[in-house]
């Protein structure tokens, strides 16, 4: 027996247990993955939970929110993880809200073909000697030549100050 188990690469205790079961006419053990859980929901209960998750009141809510709403109404059908499990088995896991599709807006590109064609402006903070005190430097740039057309320094940033 020892030599046979070594050659076949089997564990002796496994072979002995299988022989004992075969002698007692016991059915072979099923894998735990395929075992039916004793407290699992029946098909009718799963159908009720699926109908609740698809109902008008709960169709766009997460299972945790549905669970809370049902508890507030003194209803308990299953746990939150079971709701997730049911949705996953129906390939419905993920975002449940209706969402607008992603928008792809073109990035605005400015093209200057001659000087003074397109101007752009920016504000830069200039720190002073005193900590936390800044000056605002407003600069207007010509995009074609990249020269500063105008500039101004101010103590505070407001919409009325940018040079025009």
Give 118-129 pLDDT, tens digit per residue: 999 899 999 999
Structure tokens at 66: 């549905």
Degrees to nearest 5, angle at CA 125 with 122 and 131: 175
Our measurement of the distance from residue 151's CA atom to the centroid of its chain's CA atoms, rounded to an integer in Å, reads 46
- 156 three-state secondary structure: coil
- pTM here? 0.45
- Across residues 75-98, what is the average pLDDT? 89
| Span 31-86, pLDDT tens digits | 677 777 888 899 999 999 999 999 999 988 999 999 999 999 999 999 999 999 99
Sheet holding 134-142, edge to edge: 119-127, 134-142, 148-154
For residue 60, what are the contacts with CB-CB under 8 A and spacing of at least 6? 96, 97, 98
pLDDT of residue 160: 72
């Amino acid at each position: 027996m020892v030599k046979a188990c070594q050659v076949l690469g089997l564990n002796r205790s496994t072979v002995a247990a299988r022989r004992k079961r075969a002698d007692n006419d016991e059915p072979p053990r099923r894998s735990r993955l395929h075992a039916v859980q004793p407290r699992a929901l029946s098909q009718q209960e799963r159908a009720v939970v699926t109908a609740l998750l698809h109902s008008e009141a709960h169709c766009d809510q997460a299972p945790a929110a549905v669970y809370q709403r049902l508890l507030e109404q003194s209803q308990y059908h299953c746990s939150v993880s079971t709701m997730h499990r049911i949705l996953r088995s129906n390939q419905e896991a993920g975002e449940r809200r209706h969402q607008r599709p992603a928008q792809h807006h073109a990035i605005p590109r400015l093209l200057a073909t001659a000087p003074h064609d397109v101007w752009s402006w920016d504000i830069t903070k200039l720190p002073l000697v005193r900590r936390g005190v800044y000056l605002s430097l407003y600069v207007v740039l010509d995009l074609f030549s990249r020269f500063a057309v105008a500039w101004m320094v101010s103590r505070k940033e407001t919409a009325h100050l940018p040079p025009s």
